[in-house]
Each structure stands twice: as C-alpha cells, then as structure tokens.
Amino acid sequence: MSDLKTLAEALKNGTYSRVVFMVGAGISTGAGIPDFRSPGTGLYANLSKLNLPYAEAVFDIEYFRQSPKAFYTLAGELYPGKFLPTKFHYLIKLFEEKRLLRRVYTQNIDTLERIAGVGADYIVEAHGSFAANHCIDCDAELATELLKLDMEDELVDGIPVCRQCGGYVKPDIVFFGEGLPDRFYDLWEQDCKKTDLIIVAGTSLSVYPFAGLPAAVPRRTQRVLVNQERVGDFASSPRKVDILALRACDVIADELAELCGWADELVELIRKGKEGHEAKNTDKGVGTKEEEKEEKEREKEKEEKEEEKEEEKEEVERVKTEDEPDIDEIIKDISKLKVAEKELAPTEK
C-alpha cells in the first residue's frame, strides 16, 4: 500500500495538478466547533433540553417547520465569525497557491474554507452556507443583518421571521429533505473526470449524494483518505492504490506539508490568517480599518485647522484688548479669519 511519502513525492514532481478535496466536519473539529452529537458538550446539553426526536432533526426541514428553535440554538453557537480555520484548511489554501487545487467540496457550513482565503470559485458548499437566508414559505430573502438581529431578539424567541408573510426564515443551508445546490451537480460533472487526485478528509461518508463522490471518480484517479478510520467506499470497495492516512486531519496537514517541503509556508499562512482575524475582531474589519484610518486623519487635519483658527482668533482678541488698534487693522484680521473659515468649510465627499 502506498503512503503519505509517496503522495508527497508525486506532488513535488508534478504528477498531480488538478486536486479535488472532499471534506467534512472532521477538518473543522480542530477549530473547536462543537459537535452537537457529542454528549458532554454545552451544545448537546442545550439541544437535549429541546427534546429533539433524534439529533439530526435539527437539520430536518419538516421538523424545522414545526419547531425552528432547535436549529437556531445550534446556529447561535455555530454562526460564522467565531472560529478560526484549522491547519487542514490552510493546507487546502496552500494547494491553491501552488496551483494544484481544482476544487474543494465541503459538507461544512462553517465557511472556514473561505475564511482561510480559498477563492470562492474553488469552493463548492455542498450543504449550503449562512451566506444568504430565505423564508421557507414564500422564499423571500431576508438580509443577514436582519437575521442576526432576530436571532438576538427575545421578543421573537430568537427565531427570524419573514417580513413579507411572517413565515420562518432559514439560512441557505441544505437540510435533510432538501436538494443540493445546482453548483454542486454542475461542477461535479466537470471535475469528476478531470481530477487526477482526490483527497477525502474528515468525513464519515455517510450522507448522500456527497458520500458517493469517491466511488464515482475514474480508476486512473488517485484517491487519498484522511480520516481516523476507513469509511465509505474506502472500506466497502477499496482500490489497490488508495492511500490511507488514518490520523487526525491537522496531523496529516503537518506531515504532508513537511514531506513536501512546505512546512514554513503553511506556518506563514496560519500566522497571516490569525493576524487578519485579530484585526477583524479589534476593529470592524480589514476593509473598514483603512477607512477608519482615513477618517482619523481627516479628523486630525480638521483639529489642526481649528487650532489655527483659535490662534488667529486669540490674536485678534489680543489686538483688540492690548493695543487698542485702529479699525482698519481689525477689519484686516477679521477678513483673514473669514478666509480661514472658508478653508475650513466641511468638504464632505
């Protein structure tokens, strides 16, 4: 059986150039995202109080129709922005930078691929995401800002409602009983035959149609499984050349980066990512940070001009009180002041 070292050699010598990742919850556990199925976690305890008929009911569209509270309890814990990508997410980003990435199919709704900086064109969020929200009755869209406000609003019990018809609103996450996004089927049709290496990571391959992807790739495509145990097609109909890396995803990210000679680059990506996240948390965001800086500069300029104005005023005052000057002098000073005032007029864009 081949191993990780063989894979690293092949990656280094350019054997593969169209790599497809297929990832699940296991790549995000290192980020601290709580697993709602695990007893002992706060999330599990919170959901238990809601008397779910079974754990997955939280993502069941029919259950949501009757009782949306369970989903919003979970959503409050999982809402994007709280968590940092893992090493494995940055490994995917590194594949993109090395021009080896063709696509990443993710079952996760945590958007950590995006947060790690992977380009949107490369990402297929097979189970949707929190990016937009729609009413489950009339399909009207609800802006994310409003959704978040409702989630915090005790008056509606934290459940966002449609402004058009009063129905329940849910983020565009694919629930059991709903179809996958068209993008998933459209791109898979192209990628399936064009990929030369698939890396399946952190998924139990138990939810279809996603679970069927590894079995669908041609025999010439190298398959790699990164997971704690053999799952899905890797267990039921393994291929002779399958590479199995049966350890935690982040451990494999480290090992593979090391074997490929990319360890420093991976560390650098993670460092930059953390920095960006911290900047976002202390300010309003990277984009607005610039604006804030500019705003501060504008304010400083204004203050300086105001000081100048004050000084001039004082001078006029002094002239008035100390020297008992002639009227012409005063008029001259006043007109000077007016010019200064004009210069100070607000120049709003």
Nearer to Zn ion, 137 or 283 (CB): 137
Residue 139 CA to its chain's centroid (Å): 24
The least distance separating Zn ion from the CB of residue 79, rounded to whole angstroms, comes to 22
Nearer to Zn ion, 28 or 133 (CB): 133
Confirm whether residue 192 is marked as ligand binding: no
Q: Write out the residues near Zn ion by the rule CB under 5 A.
A: 135, 137-138, 140, 162, 164-165, 167
The SS3 assignment for 74 reads helix
The least distance separating Zn ion from the CB of residue 218, rounded to whole angstroms, comes to 44
**287 torsion bin: left (phi>0), alpha (psi -120 to 50), beta (else):** alpha
Is residue 277 among the annotated active site residues?
A: no
The least distance separating Zn ion from the CB of residue 170, rounded to whole angstroms, comes to 11
Rounded to whole angstroms, the Cα distance separating 300 from 306 reads 10
Confirm whether residue 242 is marked as ligand binding: no
**244 strand-pairing partners:** 225
Rounded to whole angstroms, the Cα distance separating 161 from 156 reads 8
Confirm whether residue 183 is marked as ligand binding: no
Give the other-Cβ count within 10 Å of 329's Cβ.
13
Nearer to Zn ion, 137 or 258 (CB): 137
Which amino acid appears at position 35 of this protein?
D
For 58, 205, 246, 247, the CA distances from 229, given in Å and listed in that order, are 26, 11, 6, 8
Confirm whether residue 35 is marked as ligand binding: yes
The least distance separating Zn ion from the CB of residue 161, rounded to whole angstroms, comes to 8
The CA angle 103-253-29, to the nearest 5 degrees, is: 85
Confirm whether residue 228 is marked as ligand binding: yes
Confirm whether residue 175 is marked as ligand binding: no
Query: Which phi and psi angles does 131 have, rounded to 5°?
Result: -65, -35
The least distance separating Zn ion from the CB of residue 65, rounded to whole angstroms, comes to 13
Nearer to Zn ion, 104 or 162 (CB): 162
Nearer to Zn ion, 166 or 285 (CB): 166
Token pair listed for 332: 């001259």
Q: Which residue has the tokens 């002094």?
A: 318
Rounded to whole angstroms, the Cα distance separating 205 from 213 reads 9
The CA angle 31-179-150, to the nearest 5 degrees, is: 60
Residues known to be catalytic: 127
Residue numbers belonging to the annotated binding site for Zn(2+): 135, 138, 162, 165
Binding residues for NAD(+): 25-29, 35-37, 107-110, 203-204, 227-229, 249
